[in-house]
Chain A
Amino acid sequence: EAGVTQFPSHSVIEKGQTVTLRCDPISGHDNLYWYRRVMGKEIKFLLHFVKESKQDESGMPNNRFLAERTGGTYSTLKVQPAELEDSGVYFCASSLEMRESTEAFFGQGTRLTVV
């Protein structure tokens, strides 16, 4: 069974450009999360989808970030316009249920570099 897949694995863009990250969760997982790790810091929560609905977007840094999950399957995270401080690794995770004990499975991440 395929795990959580993310695309692209790496992206280098110039400040002011737009980048769209994609996440395909494990099939059947209604819960999808975005996290990111900026250099030298801990991994931080961005938002949580349950199917196509945003359950919690309290971690989104600002309105330059837009996440969607149309149809409740894959999700995209768009950064527009990108700034230097957006550089980091963006992880997507999915889980079958919302219970605390349910394991979240992570994708390998997209390494974003804004120059």
Chain B
Amino acid sequence: RKEVEQDPGPFNVPEGATVAFNCTYSNSASQSFFWYRQDCRKEPKLLMSVYSSGNEDGRFTAQLNRASQYISLLIRDSKLSDSATYLCVLHFSGGYNKLIFGAGTRLAVHP
């Protein structure tokens, strides 16, 4: 079983739509969670951290449910520029310092 599972998509949505991505993880020792964004043939870039209380950054809302080992990302009022692959990422704890990536969910926003 993969440590981080994501629906690969693609999610094809019109501009202005609301879209939600989900991610599940298997390692209950994971302490920190992130959403990264990766444009085609570019490097991953941190979009936002994810906290248990939920956090919002403009049109983006992230949520963490530790009991269900589930992370979500909600994008409101989608823009064409939101088209990218969204990576669910865990920071592996236990004395090490490495990121565990999901395979990513592809989003395509069309006019």
Q: B-contacting residues of A (Cβ < 8 Å)?
A: 4, 31, 33, 35, 41-45, 48, 55-56, 58-59, 91, 98, 100-101, 103-104, 106-109
Contacts and interface: CB of A to CB of B under 8 A. Distances in A.
Interface residues of A, dominant DSSP? loop
A100 B31 contact: yes
A43 B32 contact: no
User: How big is the B interface, by class?
Assistant: 20 to 34
A69 B103 CA distance: 29
Interface in B26-60: 31-32, 42-46, 49
Nearest to A6: B43
Q: Sorted from nearest, which 7 A-B pairs have the closest CB atoms? A: A106-B43, A42-B103, A100-B32, A43-B101, A45-B98, A100-B91, A42-B101
Interface in B1-47: 2, 4, 31-32, 42-46
Main secondary structure of the interface of B (DSSP, over half): strand
B97 A56 contact: yes
B46 to A, nearest CB: 5
Given A100-B91, A106-B44, A41 B97 contact: no
Contact of B97 (A31, A42, A108): A31
Given A42-B104, A43-B87, A108-B42, 4 more contacts: A33-B99, A35-B101, A91-B44, A104-B99
B32 A108 contact: no
A31 B43 CA distance: 18
